[in-house]
Structure 1
């Protein structure tokens, strides 16, 4: 029996992946303030209507999340699918999400 592959967001931190893109019901527009645990630098407020800020916030949440609830409350499934190819992610994060959600590879 083979062990499941564990992808790492960074050393000693496994990637957290939502079971479904539909469960990602975070905001689509406007300002979002990330908790200190997900983003520790000022400013912690991201304007999702600004494309660059949206990408930056998504990259940080995908890299730093340790609980699925963090993904659910900050990411929006259709938006994630739309911007996926433009996100600058660690190899392990991208591999884990694409292994679980084949739609992201299209």
Structure 2
């Protein structure tokens, strides 16, 4: 159900980001990384489905998983076991 945008501009609502940068470009890797990290940490379940794209999440998970809290990482890897297969072998227990 993760069918978020893959290009264009994404403006995050105030309940996700209340200060600083609020607009991101999912087609730019660095911008997308910050967008996904912010949405994973602060978004509601409907935000996750609307703002995250499954393929893009899989592609950047090896790096993204090191930038989020261990709790969030564990929840997502439990829900999507395929994310574990993208993680480097030496970091799956971290």
Deviations 1:50-103 (A, max 9, x none): 21110001001001123x211111000111111111111100000011011110
In the TM superposition, what is the alpha-carbon distance from 1:26 to its structure 2 partner? 0.7
1:52 aligns with 2:38: no
Matched length: 83
Counterpart CA distance in 1 for 2:21 and 2:38 is: 13
The two structures, once aligned, show a CA RMSD in angstroms of 1.0
Match among 6, 12, 16 for residue 34 of structure 1: 12
* 1:90 aligned residue: 69
Poorly superposed stretches of 4+, deviation over 6 Å: none
* 2:88 aligned residue: none
Counterpart CA distance in 1 for 2:62 and 2:53 is: 15
- The gaps in structure 1 that reach 5 residues or longer are 1-22
Give the number of the structure whose residues are more often strand, by fraction. 1
Match among 44, 50, 75 for residue 52 of structure 2: 75
Give the number of the structure whose residues are more often helix, by fraction. 2
- The gaps in structure 2 that reach 5 residues or longer are 86-94
* 1:13 aligned residue: none
